[in-house]
Structure 1
Amino acid sequence: MKLILSRKGFDSSAGGCPSPILPDGRLLSLPIPDTASSVRYSDLQYPGVNSGRLVSQLSRGRVKGSTGAHIDPDLDRNYLSRASGWRPLLGQTGSAQGHLRKQEITTGDLFLFFGLFRDAEIHNRRWRFVPGSRPRHIIWGWMSIGKILNVDSSDLSASLWLNYHPHLQGGSDANNTLYLSAESLMLPGIYDLPASGVFTEYHSELQLTHPDSPNPSAWRLPEWFYPETRTPLSYHAKPERWSRDERYCRLQSAARGQEFVLDVDQYPELTDWCANLLRLS
C-alpha cells in the first residue's frame, strides 16, 4: 500500500493567498481558479458563509465569486447539489499523473490532501487574514482509491454524474485520469473509518509545518518518518532535506510537485498514524 501526500487548494500562485481557517476553527480548502469550470465560487455551499464574498475579499479581488472553481479533489457531498451516483473523486494529469503512474499508485492506496492555510476573521464587515498569523501546511482531507479511470479510454456514458467535473471539461488528453473513492477504507486492520472525507476543524495533529517556523515548507513529522536506509518520501531523496531529534523528524519539503508518495510496507507506523488522523474528522 502507498500513502500519497497530495498538495491541493489555494496558495500564493494558484488563487494568490492561503485557504482560510475560520474563526470557529473550520478548515475551508478553496479550490484553485479554473476559467473552463462550470462551477463558480458562489455556487459552493459552506454553512453560514457566503463563499463568493469570502474568496473575493481574502484574495483582494484577484478571484471573484463569478470565477470558475476547479473542484478537485471533490470530497464533500454537501458543497454542491449532486446528481445521482456521485462519489468522491480526484482528477490528475500532466507530470503529476506521470509521477503517480511511475510510483505504481493503485486501488487501495490512500491520498492525504494538504494545502496552505491561514487564520481568517471578519473585520469591519469584511473577511481578512488575521494580522500576524502565519501560513502553514495542513492536512484537510483524505481518499482511499477504489477505482482508477483513464478519461479518454473509458466509457463514461453510464456515469453522467461525472459531467460537472473539471477533468471532463477539456479536450483529448491521454494522461487525464480519474481516481474514484472506495466504498470503504482500505487501511490494513482499520475497519471503522470512512473511505474519504474532509477534516471540518483544525487540529494541531493535522499541521505539517513546524509550529515555530515562518516557512510553511519546513515540516515537523513523527520521528519514524526519517528514511535511514528506507526509500524516502518521493521528491525528497536528498539527505540534507532531513534531520531528526529524539521526538521528531524535520523535513524541508519540496516547493514544487503535487504528489509525494511513501510505501507503507517500508513504514508500517503509517497505518496507526493515518488512522489516528482520520479519527479527528
Structure 2
Amino acid sequence: MLASYVYRPPIIEGRPISLPIPTRRRSITTYDHLGLGEIVERVTRGKIARDHLCHEDPMFTRGQCLFGQCGAAQSHLRNMGVGAGDVFLFFGLFADEQSGERHHRIFGYLRVDDVISPSTGELGELDRPHPHTLGEWNENNTIYRGAGEVARKDHETLRLTQPGGPLRHWAVPDWLRAAGLSFHGKPERWLADNRLEVVARGQEFVADIGDDAAARDWLDQTLETIRL
C-alpha cells in the first residue's frame, strides 16, 4: 500500500480525486497536464498553481499502472519479496465531500507483471515520461508495472479509517491480524473489533496472504469494487 499525499485530495460528486505531490525536479508533468489544475489551486487555496510540476507516481495510463520506488522504500519491498504476481493497493488521505472529514481510503491498485530497472529496462510507449525515468535516482531505482485502475466512486468498502475516527484507526478485515502487516508488529496496535492503529509514518505496508482463501476473496472483491 502507498500513501504519498501532502494535501487532502477531495471527493467531488462521489469520486475520489487523487492529487500527486508537487515537485521541482525529475518531472515535466504539470497538474494542468493531468486535468487537475483547477482542483489543485482550489484545494491548496492557490499555494500550488496549475502549472506547477507534480510527481505523477503511481502513474495510471492506457489500462496499466507504473509505480516507482527507490532507496529504503524499495529495499523494504525487495526484502519482503514483492514482485510479479503481487498486488499494490494505493491509499491516501481524502476529505469527505459533505462534512470535510479527513479519512484514509484505497483509491487504486496495481497487479504487478514486471519489475523493471529504468536504467536498463524498456517501458514501452507512454503518454508521459514516468518520473523515475527522469534525472538521477538511487542505484536500486525500480518501476513496478502491470494492470491497474483508480476508483471512480467513493465506495464505503474502500474507506480505511473507522467511522468517526480517529484518522489512524483503521477498520481492517479479520484475516489481517493473523497474516500480519509490516511495520505493525506491536500487539498493542491491533485493537478490538478488527481495528488497527496504523503507524504515523510509512509508505509501504506489506501483507503476505499466501493461499489464505478469506484474504484472497477480500482482495478480489476490493479490486472489483475499484473497477466499478
Give the superposition deviation at 1:267. Answer: 4.2
- Structure 1 residue 118 corresponds to structure 2 residue 95: yes
Partners in 2 of 1:244 and 1:179 — Cα distance? 35
Say if 1:133 and 1:262 are closer, same or farther in 2 by CA, change over 3 A: same
Distance 2:163 2:199 in 1: 18
Shift of 1:162: 8.0
- Residue 198 of structure 1: how far off its partner (Å): 1.0
Cα RMSD (Å) of the superposition? 1.9
Letter in 2 for 1:173: N
What does the per-residue CA deviation read over 1:159-207, in whole Å, with 9 as the maximum and x for residues that have no partner?
Answer: 35386111111215211101110xxxxxxxxxxxxx3211100011000
Q: Is the 8 A contact 1:223 1:244 kept in 2?
A: no
Rate the CA distance shift 1:41–1:149 in 2: closer, same or farther, 3 A. Answer: same
Q: 1:279 aligns with which of 184, 206, 224?
A: 224
- Structure 2 counterpart of 1:67: 52
Output the TM-score relative to the length of structure 1: 0.75
Structure 1 contact 142–197 (Cα < 8 Å) conserved:
yes
1:223 to 2:223 alignment: no
CA contact (8 A) 1:146 1:180 kept: yes
Aligned length: 225
Retained in 2: the 8 A contact 1:226–1:243?
Answer: no
Aligned to 1:18: 8
Q: CA deviation at 1:76?
A: 4.2
The aligned residue for residue 208 of structure 1 is 160
| TM-superposed deviation, 1:58 | 0.7
2:225 is the alignment partner of 1:236 = no
1:6: how far off?
A: 2.1
Counterpart AA for 1:244: A
Kindly state the Cα deviation for residue 233 of structure 1 after the two structures are TM-superposed: 0.2
TM-score (normalised: structure 2): 0.91
State the Cα deviation string for residues 31-69 of structure 1 (Å, max 9, x = none).
111212100001113xxxxx2121011112221101111
Q: Is the 8 A contact 1:75 1:141 kept in 2?
A: no
1:259 counterpart SS class: coil
Partners of 1:244 and 1:277 lie apart in 2 by 23
Q: How do 1:265-276 and structure 2 match up within 5 A?
A: 265=210, 267-276=212-221
Opposite residue 30 of structure 1, the aligned amino acid is L
Structure 1 pair 242–56 and aligned structure 2 pair: CA distance change class (3 A): same
Measure the CA separation in 2 of the matches of 1:74 and 1:211. 30
* Aligned residue identity for 1:273: W
Q: Which residue, out of 2, 23, 28, partners 1:6?
A: 2
Contact 1:75 1:89 in 2 (8 A): yes
Name the aligned partner's letter for residue 197 of structure 1: E
Aligned partners of 1:162, 1:100: CA distance in 2, in Å?
A: 27
Determine whether 1:100 maps to 2:74. no
Partner residue, 1:145: 112
Q: Work out whether 1:42 is the aligned partner of 2:32.
A: yes
Residue 266 of structure 1 and its aligned partner are, at CA, apart by: 6.7
Q: Which of 164, 167, 178 is matched with 2:143 structurally?
A: 178
CA distance in 2, matches of 1:150, 1:278: 27
Rounded to whole Å, the distance in 1 between the matches of 2:126 and 2:138 is: 20
Unaligned runs of 5+ in 2: none
1:53 matched to 2:43? The reply is: no
Deviations 1:91-114 (A, max 9, x none): 111211111011011100000111
| Residue type of the alignment partner of 1:151 | P
Q: Distance in 2 between matches of 1:160 and 1:19?
A: 29
Asked if residue 159 in structure 1 is aligned to residue 124 in structure 2, the reply is yes
